[in-house]
Amino acid sequence: MILIPATVFSGGFLGVMYTFDPTNFNDPNSGSFYNWKVEDGIAGRTLTTGLVILSYRDLGVATITVTLSGVLGITDAKSPSTPVSKSQQVTIGTIGATQKLCTVLIGMAFSAANMQLSVLRAPNAGPVSITKARLEGRVETTVMA
Amino acid sequence: MAIQIKSDGTWAAEYEGPYQGLDVQKPETLISDKASPSFNNFMLRNSELRSRPAFTLPFTGNIFNFPVPFPVGVSSFLDINGTYHTVAWAGNNMYQYNPALLPSAPWSTVGAAGPGSLAQQPLTYRTFANSIYYTSSALLAPPHGSGGIAAVTPFLAYWDGIAAAPIFQQTFSDASTSNSIAGISLSDSPTVGGSLPGGPTIIGPIAIGAGFLAELNNQLLLANISIKDQGNGKIYNFPTLIWWSANGLPLQWDPTQNTSAGFNPFLDVSDQITGLAMLGIAGYIFRTFGITQMTPTGSAVTPWEFDHMWASDHGIGNVLPWSISQYGPTAAFVAQDNIYSLSVTNAQPIGGNSRDAIMTDLANCSGPPVANIIPIFKAGYVYLTYEIWIPFPSFTRVYVYSFEDKNWATWDLALPAPSIGQQLVSVPNVV
């Protein structure tokens, strides 16, 4: 096993040995996040998302926060872009931790340019294993010139 | 799958593995859909985005109490009776894992590890002839971010797993004793010491220690040498010196007694030795800005041929003394411009699209980073990774490079620095 010698303060200064436990993917002290690529679709146009689809492996019950973020407006001296975002908390997995692949559909109506999907897992919020993410929606196609 | 826009104005984007990891070297809109501009505490193993394994204490109880709670190394070795020993070092002592003590802290004291405190500097170790050898010293130029490291009285010691305590002293035929098993007798010290760079006047006996230890051609190798003249207590540092034991005789370091022992000061380099790696039949001596290859000649009088792989003042070298690690035919290390893997045939940059983030964090660290190649997290759970551990005041950041997937992940651990020193003064290891 991997051993990580370290010095900590816990009621006194202590030398201890840590390890990574590959039977437990729910770190009680550290959260996790993943930001996917920023999608600009057609440059300068607004993307509208209606649905976020996450496929995941059931490692047990976990609570995650799914966020879509982006900007509204075209930046120039008169109209600076405004960062916008929308989040939704989702509970995935089962107590039985079946290890099966599952899918959750998350309805999220959200419009922005430069759209980005993110997932956040808080400390001790459960084990998470995402195998696929999908965004679906519409794109502004108005001809500007 | 890259974003798909249909003629009816609908769009879809799909993201799946295998993942390419952290990419900070392109605008977020131009990276691959398999990469991420930022993420933390997700593991990319087996094409999943999985929250990383929990960072836990596998044993209850602490090992080492204040005032010296700084473990400086952990390793395992097989003794001549076929018994595995897992040992650790801290304070003045060597400790051994003893499962009979569970559920209390399963570490029992073997004995004094050396002539003094091991302080807060990783020691290096190597198994040779069913014994574990280890050394520490006072590195002349502390590594970046260290803010100065307490000097360690230089020594080399060993434990065979059978004797009651580690051995760090040697008594010579003239009845003098050195506080290092790499030592020179009182009688020979003026001659041997006088031929070191600068021609110092040595009383003796001499105790030899080093920042780095390796083995090649049945000879132990010490690099970035410090010696203590026990006659007057003075410590001399030779940051570009390499010293080797006699062939097959790890207790014989005196070239006047055995011509296959000796030393070589690289007077023609402007930096210091920062590590060693042995690949195949050759050894590689890493300096801050260069690498020197050493090859056995088969001659007892001149046992090595040394070749600087490039003669420029600045080049690919190892800038972080404890970033070099090796697994089988591959070594990995951190140079000034990138992270590299080194095989028998070539050096390959592996920093990829994460390089700038890693280099920025290395430049801002609060203490000396450490690194190792970790093949498994535990028996049966394989994840061959090069892990760079970077201490910050309020947490520890680990950059994890998967050799299989060629991607980097960032893991932040709730491991802050204690107010009396650094949280990490040891290289993590698989035992």
Write down the pLDDT at residue B143.
47
CB contact (8 A) between residue B51 and residue A121: yes
Q: What is the pLDDT of residue B311?
A: 67
> Is A145 a member of any domain?
no
Q: What's residue B422's pLDDT?
A: 86
Q: How much is the average pLDDT of A105-125? A: 97
CB-CB neighbours of B57 under 10 Å: 15
- Nearest chain B residue to A114, by CA: B29
Query: Is residue A13 domain-resident?
Result: no
At B334, is the pLDDT very low, low, confident or very high (cuts 50, 70, 90)? very high
Q: What is the pLDDT of residues B200-227, one digit of tens each?
A: 999 999 999 999 999 999 999 999 999 9
Is A37 within 8 Å of B37 when comparing Cβ atoms? yes
With b for 16 or more beta-carbon neighbours within 10 A and e for fewer, the B80-98 pattern comes to eeeeebbbbbbbbbbbbbb
A28: in domain: yes
Does A2 fall in a domain? no
Lowest mean pLDDT among A2-6, B120-124, B223-227, B268-272: B268-272
Q: Which residue has the tokens 């490039």?
A: B310
- Give the pLDDT band (50/70/90) at residue B300: confident
Residues of A (34-93) whose Cβ lies below 8 Å from B: 34-42, 47, 57, 59, 62
Q: How many CB atoms lie within 10 A of CB B297?
A: 12
Interface contacts (A, B; CB < 8 Å): 242
- By residue range, what is the domain housing residue A89? 23-139
How far are the Cα atoms of A11, A52, B171, B200 from residue A110, in angstroms, in the given order? 48, 11, 79, 76
Flag whether A144 is in a domain.
no
pTM of the model: 0.95
Q: Is A143 on the interface with B (CB under 8 A)?
A: no
Q: Is A20 on the interface with B (CB under 8 A)?
A: yes
The shortest C-alpha distance from A49 to chain B (Å) reads 9
Contact A20 B17 (CB under 8 A): no
pLDDT on residue A142? 67
Res B36 pLDDT > 60:
yes
- Per the CB < 8 A criterion, the answer to whether B154 and B208 are in contact is yes
The total number of structural domains that make up chain A: 1
Is the pLDDT reported for residue B65 higher than 70? no
Taking CB atoms and an 8 Å limit, are A14 and B42 in contact across chains?
Answer: no
- CB-nearest to A30 from B48, B389, B414 is B414
Separation of alpha carbons B281 and B221, rounded Å: 14
Question: What pLDDT score was predicted for residue B141?
Answer: 45
CATH of the domain at A73: 2.60.120.260
In a domain, A10, yes or no: no
Residue of B nearest to A34 (CA): B39
Give the integer Cα–Cα distance in Å for B135 and B126.
Answer: 9
pLDDT for res B271: 86
Structure tokens at A84: 């916008």
Task: Calculate how close chain A gets to B179, using CA atoms only, in Å.
Answer: 27
CB-CB contact of B126 with B212 (8 Å)? no
C-beta of residue B79 within 8 angstroms of C-beta of residue B131: yes
Distance (Å) from the alpha carbon of A98 to chain B's nearest alpha carbon:
16
Residue type, A114: N
At B145 the pLDDT is 47
Taking the CA atoms of B255, B259, B260 and B264 in sequence, report the sign of the dihedral they define: positive
How much of chain B, in percent, has pLDDT values that exceed 70?
Answer: 94
Contact residues, chain B, for A124 at CB < 8 Å: none
The confidence score (pLDDT) of residue B61 equals: 67
- Inside any domain, residue A18: no
Which of A3, A116, A127 lies at the smallest CB-CB distance from B74? A3
Closest CA to B224 of B158, B282, B286: B286
Q: How crowded is the C-beta side of B182, counted as CA atoms within 13 Å? A: 34
Are B15 and A132 in contact (CB < 8 Å)?
yes
For B137-151, the pLDDT digits (tens) are 866 444 444 455 556
Q: What is the pLDDT at residue B139? A: 65
The more confident residue out of A30 and B66 is: A30
| Model pLDDT, residue B121 | 85
Q: Does A111 touch chain B (CB under 8 A)?
A: no
Which pLDDT does position A9 carry in this prediction?
A: 86
pLDDT at A121: 98
